[in-house]
Chain A
């Protein structure tokens, strides 16, 4: 780790000290370590190597689905629900980088702004930076940072995806796929991809025309299908309940979880 010394004086350069600050929940340090991981700066991985070995304490929920189905609004409601339960909530909102310029406009958190003043909520936008699969390269490492920082629930919003962007299944304990009525052909397409990795399917905007048909159709394919109207908060309590049920199942069946996470569980020690 000798090469990781040429950094701004604002932060300490000692990975062990930085790891202690992460574990103390210091927001600036948490944010900067995620930046280093995004930038493939060796100091980021060095800090991860110094946090308690994979606390794996946080419950990680992935929210995925096509663009415009209401993922951000649903997450906004889930934040509220988990805060009511006294949980400390971290959010990683992944959005796409321009394949042409590498730039990005990251706006998922606009729908979650009412939580900005809550010190028990941390929201971080991540750009994909060319990564396929619906997440950013550093998303899984960012989960480890938030886990180490003591977040109880970590919500990951994937880019707006459909069939093949299923990396979330390797990172989240519970995957929630969000669909909206009126996307009939898209739902057909999802059956071969996203719906296979989803633990729970949500028909959001469930007060719209076509919601009943979408629910009926999806229930033929998926065990757990929930109707929500995220803008009004409808169906959120039921969604929280089925997520909790899935979590209990997960706790009873830990070996299956570890198989599911596969070798990627150790990404954080890349430079170690």
Chain B
């Protein structure tokens, strides 16, 4: 079986005190429609829960939606936990309300990509499809 024939596994979810899940559900559906297996965690996950779930589910990447303003601390905490637990190879990306001035710092810390409001869905699907690695 070729690598391309095995579905990507991606964790999609929401972290922290943030109940705005309309966008993240649309993203999950678009990725499913692109042939990807989505592990959907739902709302109010802690960084620890996200990282444990990602490891148990053996996902290639974690995609988080954050509209609470806590993106800096949450993304950095998750990156730290991934490294601590020997899972630094799992890609972290995200989307939501993230001010311009925060983007360079998060990217430098290791967040692979940040999708801002009004991103075409196609861009997200293309990015995720590009994460295909031999396992």
Q: Do A and B come from one complex?
A: yes
Binds B, one of A6-14, A203-211, A213-221: A6-14
- Whether B40 lies near A106 (C-beta < 8 A) is yes
Chain A's nearest CB lies how many Å from the CB of B32? 4
Chain A residues with Cβ below 8 Å from B45 are 113
CA distance A28 to B52 in the complex (A): 10
Chain A's nearest CB lies how many Å from the CB of B130? 16
How many pairs, one residue from A and one from B, have CB atoms within 8 Å of each other in the complex? 95
Given contacts A8-B133, A113-B49, contact A27 B42 (CB under 8 A): no
Chain A residues with Cβ below 8 Å from B62 are none
- Whether B7 lies near A125 (C-beta < 8 A) is no
* A-B pairs with beta carbons under 8 Å apart, 12 shown: A8-B133, A31-B57, A35-B58, A39-B1, A41-B135, A98-B32, A98-B35, A103-B32, A104-B38, A113-B41, A116-B49, A124-B57
Docked complex: B47-67 residues within 8 A CB-CB of A = 48-49, 52-53, 55-58
Given contacts A106-B38, A107-B42, A122-B56, contact A35 B135 (CB under 8 A): yes
- Whether B31 lies near A103 (C-beta < 8 A) is yes
Chain B residues with Cβ below 8 Å from A110 are 40-42
Chain B's nearest CB lies how many Å from the CB of A129? 7
A154 at the interface (CB under 8 A from B): no
Write the chain A residue with the least CB distance to B42: A110
Chain B's nearest CB lies how many Å from the CB of A142? 11
Chain B residues with Cβ below 8 Å from A98 are 32-33, 35
Q: Contact residues of B with A, CB < 8 Å?
A: 1, 6-7, 9, 28-29, 31-42, 45-46, 48-49, 52-53, 55-58, 86-87, 89, 133-135
CA distance A123 to B56 in the complex (A): 6
CA distance A122 to B42 in the complex (A): 18
- Whether A113 lies near B34 (C-beta < 8 A) is no
Write the chain A residue with the least CB distance to B34: A103
Given contacts A34-B58, A35-B9, contact A106 B39 (CB under 8 A): yes
CA distance A34 to B9 in the complex (A): 12
Chain B residues with Cβ below 8 Å from A107 are 40, 42
DSSP class of A's interface residues: helix, strand, loop or mixed? mixed
Chain A residues with Cβ below 8 Å from B58 are 28, 31-32, 34-35
Given contacts A6-B134, A8-B133, A125-B57, contact A109 B33 (CB under 8 A): no
Write the chain A residue with the least CB distance to B7: A102
A46 at the interface (CB under 8 A from B): no
A253 at the interface (CB under 8 A from B): no
Chain A residues with Cβ below 8 Å from B9 are 35
- Whether A7 lies near B135 (C-beta < 8 A) is yes
Contact with B along A104-130 (1 / 0, CB 8 A): 111101100100110000111101010
- Whether B135 lies near A101 (C-beta < 8 A) is no
Report which of A32, A97, A104, A123 forms a contact with B135, defined as CB distance below 8 A.
A32
Chain B's nearest CB lies how many Å from the CB of A234? 24
Chain B's nearest CB lies how many Å from the CB of A203? 27
- Whether A7 lies near B134 (C-beta < 8 A) is yes
Chain A residues with Cβ below 8 Å from B56 are 27, 31, 122-124
Report which of B1, B29, B52 forms a contact with A116, defined as CB distance below 8 A.
B52
Chain B's nearest CB lies how many Å from the CB of A111? 9
A59 at the interface (CB under 8 A from B): no
CA distance A35 to B135 in the complex (A): 9
